[in-house]
Structure 1
C-alpha cells in the first residue's frame, strides 16, 4: 500500500467513524423517544373518611340512634376519593371503579371536576344495570309481601349486594394536571369505619397512592441535605488540594458547614422562645 492510498484511507476514517457514531446516537435517541412516547401515565389518588354519626347505647350519654330515610343504621360516613392526573397526557374515557368493604354499603354518591365543579356521572351501563337490579328487587319484595313462602333468588341477592357496594364513574376526559373528587355516603353494618377501594383500568395507566404533604416535604428535605452534603464535601476536597496551605480555615469551614443545620435549628428555637416570652 503506497502513501497515496494511505492518505486517502486516513481521510475517510474520521468520516466513517463520525457516521457510525452519528448512527449509534440516532438509534439511542430513537429508542428513548419511543419510550418517552409510550411511557405510562400516572394518576395519584387519596382516600379520606369523615364519620358522620354512630348509633350507641351509653349510660352516661344515653341512647343515640342514627337513621337514613327512616331506617335505623349503626354507622354512617362519607368516603372521599381524590384523583389527580400528574402525567403530561390528557386521558379520555376514563372509568373509575369505587367500592367498599363487605360490611358496608353505599347509600349515595357524587363526583365533580375540581377546577370547574362540573358533575361527573355514573358510567351509563353501570347506571342502567343498577336501576334494573333495584327494580327487580322491588318487585321481588312485593311478591314476598303477598306470598310468605316466596324465596328470594340467590342471584338477585348477589346482584343487589354488588350494586350496593360498587360505583363506576365515567370521565369523558381527564386533562393533565387536573383533579377530580368523588364522595360516597356509606353505611357500615357493624358500627365501624368503612373501608374504601379505588381501581382504574386504562391502557398505559398506573395508579399510585398520593403521599401527604408533610411526608413529601420530609423526603424532599432529607434528599436536599444528602445531596447538599455530598456537593459540599467534594468542594471541600477540591479546595483542600488547591489551597493546602489554608488547612485550619478549611477545617473550620468544614465543621461549620456540617453543623449549619443544627445551628440554624438552635437560632430558630431561640427566636421562638423569645417571642413566646414577649407575648
Structure 2
C-alpha cells in the first residue's frame, strides 16, 4: 500500500514538474526572444551626495549664513554620479543628461571619463553650452538695464540652471564616467535625475554586494515557498501515514530551496549573456 501511495505521489509530482518545467522553458524562450528583438546595452548608475553647508536661524546657536560667490545660500550639496558601461561594446557620440528638481539649482559641474588609471575631462554638449551662454548673457543684460525678466526667459533660466548635458566622445566596455555637481537646494531634498540620450541603451541602478545578496535571499525564499506549496499538495493528498508525509515534506523543503536557487542562477546567467 505504501509503495502504491509513493508511486502515486511520484507520478503526481512528475506531472507538476512537467508543468513547472514547461512554464519555465516558455518563460526563458520568451525572455530570449524579447531580448533579441529589443536588444539594449545596459549601463549602471550610482548616485551619492553630501551636504556642504546650510544656513539656520536659531535662538540657541544664533544666525548662520552661507555665502556662495557673495550671494546668500541656504543649502549647498555635492551630488556625485558614476555611470558604467557594463556591456561588451564600446559606444561613441553619446549624451548624458542630468537634472535636479525645480527646488534646486546647479552652480558648478565636473565630468570625467576613467580609462584604467587615466582620466579625460568631459565638456558640455555644444548645443546646450551655446544655449546656456545665450541665456546667461540675456539675463545679465536685463539685470544691467534693470528690466523685468519676462516669462519665456525665466523658463529658459530655470531649464539651464537645473540641467546639464555632457558629450561623451567614447566610453569603452567596462569603463565608467564620474560626475560631480555643486547644488543649491531650497527644500533640503537634493535629487539627481540621469538619462542617456540614445536609443537602444538602458540605464539601471547599480547594485552592490549587499543588495545582490538581499535579492538572492528574497528570490530563493519566495520561489522556494511557491515550489514547496505546489509539491506539498500531492504529498498531503496521497500520503496515508503522518510519518510518510513528514518525511516527504522534509525532502520537499530541501528540494524546493535547491530548485529555487538553481532557477535564480539560471535566470541571471541568461540575462547576463544577453
State whether TM-score is above 0.5: yes
State the shift of 1:47 in Å.
1.6
Listed as ranges, the matches of 1:253-272 within 5 Å are none
Cα distance between partner residues in 1 of 2:182 and 2:75:
11
Equivalent residue for 2:168, pick from 171, 177, 180: 171
State the shift of 1:35 in Å.
6.5
SS at match of 2:121: coil
Cα distance between partner residues in 1 of 2:176 and 2:200:
19
State the shift of 1:226 in Å.
9.1
TM-score by length of structure 2 reads 0.65
Cα distance between partner residues in 2 of 1:226 and 1:136:
59
Question: Quick check: 2:113–2:119 contact (8 Å CA) kept in 1?
Answer: yes
Question: Quick check: 1:54–1:191 contact (8 Å CA) kept in 2?
Answer: no
Residue 202, structure 1, aligned to residue 202, structure 2: no
- Residue 136 of structure 1: aligned partner: 138
Cα distance between partner residues in 2 of 1:35 and 1:101:
33
Give per-residue Cα distances to partners, 1:100-155, cap 9 Å, x unaligned: 000111000000123322111111111111111101111111111xxxxx332221
Flag the 1:58–1:137 CA change in 2: closer, same or farther, 3 A.
same
Cα distance between partner residues in 1 of 2:159 and 2:202:
25
- Residue 158 of structure 2: aligned partner: 161
Gaps of 5+ in 2: 1-31, 228-246, 255-274
Q: CA RMSD in A?
A: 3.2
Cα distance between partner residues in 1 of 2:96 and 2:49:
18
Q: How many residues align?
A: 205
Equivalent residue for 2:209, pick from 208, 213, 225: 213
Flag the 1:113–1:225 CA change in 2: closer, same or farther, 3 A.
same
Residue 87, structure 1, aligned to residue 83, structure 2: no
- Residue 248 of structure 1: aligned partner: none
Question: Quick check: 1:77–1:193 contact (8 Å CA) kept in 2?
Answer: no
Question: Quick check: 2:103–2:187 contact (8 Å CA) kept in 1?
Answer: no
Give per-residue Cα distances to partners, 1:24-67, cap 9 Å, x unaligned: xxxxxxxx899659721011112212111110012223221111
Flag the 1:74–1:227 CA change in 2: closer, same or farther, 3 A.
closer
TM-score by length of structure 1 reads 0.64
- Residue 97 of structure 2: aligned partner: 97
Cα distance between partner residues in 2 of 1:226 and 1:152:
58
- Residue 271 of structure 1: aligned partner: none
Listed as ranges, the matches of 1:7-26 within 5 Å are none
Cα distance between partner residues in 2 of 1:153 and 1:202:
33
SS at match of 2:120: coil
Gaps of 5+ in 1: 1-31, 145-149, 231-250, 259-279
Runs (4+) of structure 1 exceeding 4 A deviation are: 32-38, 221-228
Cα distance between partner residues in 2 of 1:33 and 1:101:
38
Cα distance between partner residues in 2 of 1:88 and 1:70:
48
Give per-residue Cα distances to partners, 1:194-234, cap 9 Å, x unaligned: 22111112121111122233111333456678999x9xxxx
